[in-house]
Structure 1
Amino acid sequence: MDVSHFKNHFSHKLSNYKLTYSSYPDGDFGYLERVVIEGPDKVAGIDFWSRGWLDIDIYDLVLDQQVMNVLIEPAETQKKEEELIKFMRILLDCG
C-alpha cells in the first residue's frame, strides 16, 4: 500500500479537508510519502514508507486530544486497510 492507493480510494471522500502531500527520501523506514489532512475540527497525517510501514494519526481539535495513533508493520496488509477505513470513519464522523 502506498500514497497512490490513498489518492485513488480515499482522498476524494475528504472534500471538506485540505490535503497536503510531501515526500522525504531518507526517513526512518526508507522513502517517506506523507499526507497531511487539515479540517475545521480535526488534523491528521498518514505516513507511507517505502519499506511497507504505515503510520496514521488524528488529532481532534474540539476534544483537544489525539483520537488515533497507530504504526502498522509491513506484513500487516489487512490491518492497514482496516485502519484506513477506521481513519476515514473518524474524519467523516461515521462512528
Structure 2
Amino acid sequence: MMESTINIEWFKNEFSSKLSGYELEYKFFNEGDFGSLNQIEFNSKKRGGNIDFWGLGWTGIFVWDYETEEQLLNVLLEPHQEKEKEQAFKKLEELL
C-alpha cells in the first residue's frame, strides 16, 4: 500500500503556514475510528474547524462559518483518494 503523502508532517511543513490568523491546536488520540488520530483544530473569529489525519490513512476536513452558522466543508476521504485529498485541501485554502 502506498503511504499517503498528505499527512500530519505534510500539513506542518506545507500547509500550516496558510493558516495565518488562525489559532492552531494539535491533538493526538491513540485510538480512533481509523487507528490513531492526529487532529488539528483551527479557529479565527470568522471560521473554524478541524483536520483529521488517521493512522490508517483516512483524512477528514471540517470547516464551519461562525458568522453564517453553516458548514462550508465536511469530507472524509479514504487512504487511496490522493487526488481528492489534494482537491479538498485546495478547497480548504479557498475557504480560508
Which of 28, 34, 38 matches 2:33?
28
AA of the residue aligned to 2:19: L
* CA–CA distance in structure 2, aligned partners of residues 9 and 32 of structure 1: 19
Q: CA deviation at 1:78?
A: 1.1
- 2:38 aligned with 1:38, yes or no? no
What's the counterpart of residue 95 of structure 2?
A: 90
SS at match of 1:43: strand
Aligned residues: 91
- 2:43 aligned with 1:48, yes or no? no
What's the counterpart of residue 84 of structure 2?
A: 79
* CA–CA distance in structure 1, aligned partners of residues 60 and 89 of structure 2: 10
Identity level (%):
37
Q: Deviations over 1:50-83 (max 9, x none)?
A: 1010010000001111111001011101111110
In the superposition, the TM-score normalised over structure 1's length comes to 0.92
In the superposition, the TM-score normalised over structure 2's length comes to 0.91
Q: CA deviation at 1:40?
A: 1.1
* CA–CA distance in structure 1, aligned partners of residues 59 and 91 of structure 2: 14
SS at match of 1:52: coil
Which blocks of at least 5 consecutive residues in structure 1 are unaligned? none
AA of the residue aligned to 1:76: Q
- 2:31 aligned with 1:12, yes or no? no
- Aligned Cα root-mean-square deviation (Å): 0.7
Which blocks of at least 5 consecutive residues in structure 2 are unaligned? 1-5
List structure 1 segments (4+ residues) > 3 angstroms apart after TM superposition.
none
